[in-house]
């Protein structure tokens, strides 16, 4: 399950950012996962539950924001819907993926020591 590897990488990135700002602990992490990213969101959430234990990420919640895939005509760039053939209705050309294949760390909510 490559989601475990993604969760472990996410933890390393979050820990580095938390250290950089002098955080005592991470409260919440938010990521955007595209429909075409090849990531099972439920498996990623489960993997996060396993890898977050210990250190500043212990107990940190993970919020996953779904990003729909966006397809456009490969010729005229007209948007193409996901619910049928991936072809442009205007010119019949096949669609190309324009977005929704991304995986982004968007936000890290932390607690800092008072002072």
pLDDT tens readout for residues 50-97: 999 999 999 999 999 999 999 999 999 989 988 878 898 888 899 999
CA distances to 32, 55, 66, 67, 87 from 35, rounded to whole Å, are 10, 31, 7, 6, 19
Query: Do the Cβ atoms of 16 and 56 come closer than 8 Å?
Result: no
- Average pLDDT score, the chain: 93
Question: What integer pLDDT is reported at residue 104 of this predicted model?
Answer: 96
Query: Do the Cβ atoms of 21 and 109 come closer than 8 Å?
Result: no
Question: What integer pLDDT is reported at residue 1 of this predicted model?
Answer: 61
In a domain, 83, yes or no: no
In a domain, 77, yes or no: no
Q: State the total domains in the chain.
A: 1
Question: Which CATH number is 62's domain given?
Answer: 3.30.2320.50
- Please count the other Cβ atoms lying within 10 Å of the Cβ belonging to residue 85: 11
In a domain, 38, yes or no: yes
* Domain hosting residue 44, numbered range: 2-69+100-112
Question: What integer pLDDT is reported at residue 41 of this predicted model?
Answer: 97
Question: What integer pLDDT is reported at residue 112 of this predicted model?
Answer: 87
36: pLDDT strictly greater than 80: yes
In a domain, 55, yes or no: yes
């Amino acid at each position: 399950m490559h989601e475990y590897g993604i969760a472990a990488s996410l933890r390393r990135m979050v820990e580095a950012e938390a250290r950089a700002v002098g955080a005592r602990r991470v409260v919440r992490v938010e990521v955007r996962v595209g429909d075409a990213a090849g990531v099972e969101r439920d498996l990623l959430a489960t993997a996060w539950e396993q890898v977050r234990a210990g250190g500043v990420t212990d107990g940190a919640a993970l919020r996953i924001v779904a990003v729909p895939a966006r397809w456009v005509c490969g010729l005229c760039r007209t948007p193409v819907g996901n619910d049928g053939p991936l072809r442009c209705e205007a010119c019949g050309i096949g669609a190309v993926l324009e977005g929704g294949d991304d995986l982004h760390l968007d936000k890290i909510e932390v607690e800092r020591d008072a002072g």
